[in-house]
Each structure stands twice: as structure tokens, then as C-alpha cells.
Amino acid sequence: MTSRFSRRWVSCTHNGCQNSASQTAEHGVNPLSSTPGIDNRPAHAFPAALVAALREARHVVLLSGAGVSAESGVPTFRDAMTGLWSRFDPAELATPEAFERDPELVWGWYEWRRMRALQAQPNPAHLAIAGMSDHLPQLTLVTQNVDDLHERAGSDTVIHLHGSLHQPRCATCGRSHAFPDEMPNEPEGGRRLPPPRCTRCRGLIRPGVVWFGESLPEGAFYQAQEAAENCDLLISVGTSSLVYPAAGLPHLAKAHGSQLIQINPQPTNLDGHATWNVVGAAGQILPALVAAAWGSTRAQYHPGGLPACADDSQ
């Protein structure tokens, strides 16, 4: 069954309202938005089978990436104009070698990132994800994000594959370090800042994130793998699906019989493997998906109002 839908796009061009969910297309469009300049009515939305897959799922894995926090103002990594890697060199900032070479540069950059994350607020995507757990027998939330916006939206168990900006530790002995309560006040892009010293061994404190070439936290990755192997639906949201081993989780889930929903405004490597590709912003799509599956039980899921037609006749 899965392969029959493997190149299915959730796609709608409102003028004439051709729901092309059963067609193969180069790339789909946002099922909630109308054709720009032609019609402002919200277009109809998701294929019935997609909504049913969510409503009837026993165990959903939701894999989130930087795109989920983008609408909170936290920059992604690889978006062409706005992504961090369009302005900053990951080899100079996000590897253990970079920290060894220039700890002040790296620490200062991450203090700026931490400030941005602290200033941000959860958006409707984070809230909708937190709300999904009200309805599902089991939801495993796995994030590549290093902010705490899922937690602040009310998701109480979050598997962080790439660590956290808020949990620094000693680079020598691993002891955790507590930040002072005050909000950092850093200039755009950061500045050179000496990292604090470990109270136990005087080693340098490093950001608590996973850099390129480093292993993922073993327990976290093990739990994510186990969930992927045992879920019946995996929803991949706001990730370019480029960074491994996290990007392997949807493939693992599919190999174990799960269906895949991908939500992303841009094409990714996962497109050809997903059961459904929903093209659009997470903060629009996820609240509408929750509403389509269960009705909107929390006003904040979809502050802009519900789509006119949350289901179709398929």
C-alpha cells in the first residue's frame, strides 16, 4: 500500500479547485493557501487517507527540524538566504576541532544563538505538536533542534538528538554547567567570549550540542531508533533530511512498515520516499492537520481560523 502512495503530493490549485492529491507532480503546493493574487479563500486540505492515518495511528513518531522553529524567529541552517550556514562556516563553528582551535569564537557564537533561542516563543507548530499527544495513544517526539521550544509549548518528553543550547558541559570531564539566570546580551552574530571554566577540573565549558563528527547521545538515539521501528506513522517536519543519522529515521520507520508524512515548504531528499508530502509552513499545516483529525480543541492550534474544508471526498 505504501508504495502506491509513495510519490503522492497534497496539492491544490484553488482556482478550479483541482485537488491533485492522487497525481504525481514536480512539487506540491500548500494545501491551505489559495493561489496568490486570484482568490483569498482558504483552499481545501488533506486527503482523507492522510487524516485517517493520523487519527487511527497507535504510535506516531514526530521528527522535527529547524523549520519548526523558523516561525519563532530561530534561524534554520540551510535555507538559502536566512540559514545560519549561508552566513557562517560550520567548519569554523560547529566541529570539535573548531572549539579546540578557537574556543572564544565558538563560545561567543553559541551565546548569541542561546540568546536568540531564549528570546523566541513557541509558535503554532510547537503548540499543535504538544496538542497531538492529547489525542494519540503514543506520540514520540524526536527533535534535531537545540532550542527548548517544544518543552515550552507543553511537550513534556522530548528526545533531543543534537543536544541543547541550554545544557553546556565541561569539555574535559563532562560535568554539567549552569548558566546564570540573566538573559545574555550579545551582538548580532556573536562576539569573542572566553568560555567559563569547570568548577571541578578547570577545563573549558563547551556548548551542549552535537557537532559534526560527534556521536549522538547514545540513549537518545537508541530511543529514537526503537520508536521508529515500532511506530505506524512518522511525521517529518521542517528538516532538510540531510544530516545523518537523524535523516535515516524515516527510512528505518518505513522499512518497518510505517507510513510517512513530510511537511516542508521546500523539496527534500525524503520527497520520493514519503507516503504524503504536504508542502507548506509547519505553523500553518500542523494546526490544520490536528483540526482535520480531531477538531480544534485548543484555540491556539490555529489562531488564523480553520480552513474552509478540512477534508476532501477521496
- The catalytically annotated residue of 126, 162, 273, 302 is 162
Report helix, strand or coil for 138.
strand
CA distance linking residue 64 with residue 49, whole number of Å: 22
Listed ranges 8-16, 61-69, 202-210, 286-294: which one lies at the site for Zn ion (CB under 5 A): 202-210
Q: Which is nearer to ligand BJW, 71 or 186 (CB)?
A: 71
Write the CA distances from 83 to 57, 68, 87, integer angstroms: 34, 13, 7
Residue 172 interacts, among Zn ion, ligand BJW, none and using kind-specific CB cut-offs from 5 to 8 Å, with Zn ion
206 labeled part of a ligand binding site: no
Burial class for 38, CB neighbours closer than 10 Å (0-12, 13-18, 19+): exposed
The answer to whether 201 contacts Zn ion (rule: CB under 5 A) is: yes
Q: Which does 67 bind (CB under 5 to 8 A by kind): Zn ion, ligand BJW, none?
A: ligand BJW
DSSP 171-212: TTT--B-PPPSSPP---TT----PPPB-TTT-PBEEEEEPPT
By CB under 5 A, the residues from 246 to 305 that bind Zn ion are: none
- Return the beta strands (E) in 85-162 as ranges: 138-143, 158-160
Contact 200, 176 (CB under 8 A): no
242 binds, among Zn ion, ligand BJW, none (CB under 5 to 8 A by kind): ligand BJW
251 is catalytic: no
The answer on whether 17 is annotated among ligand-binding residues is: no
Could you tell me the smallest distance in angstroms from the CB atom of residue 190 to Zn ion? Answer: 24
Q: Which residues would be at the binding site for ligand BJW (CB under 6 A)? A: 65-67, 70-71, 76-79, 83, 94, 144, 146, 162, 209-215, 238-240, 242-245, 264-266, 268, 281-283
Q: Which is nearer to ligand BJW, 22 or 121 (CB)?
A: 121
Cis, bond preceding 245 (omega within 30 deg of 0): yes
- How far, in Å, CA of 99 to CA of 164, rounded? 16
200 binds, among Zn ion, ligand BJW, none (CB under 5 to 8 A by kind): Zn ion
Contact status: 171 vs Zn ion (CB under 5 A): no
Residue 235's alpha-carbon distances to 39, 50, 181, 270, in angstroms, are: 30, 11, 35, 11
Which residues are annotated as part of the binding site for Zn(2+)? 170, 173, 198, 201
- Which are the catalytic amino acids? 162
Which residues bind to Zn ion, rule: CB under 5 A? Answer: 170, 172-173, 175, 198, 200-201, 203
Which residues are annotated as part of the binding site for NAD(+)? 144-147, 238-240, 264-266, 282
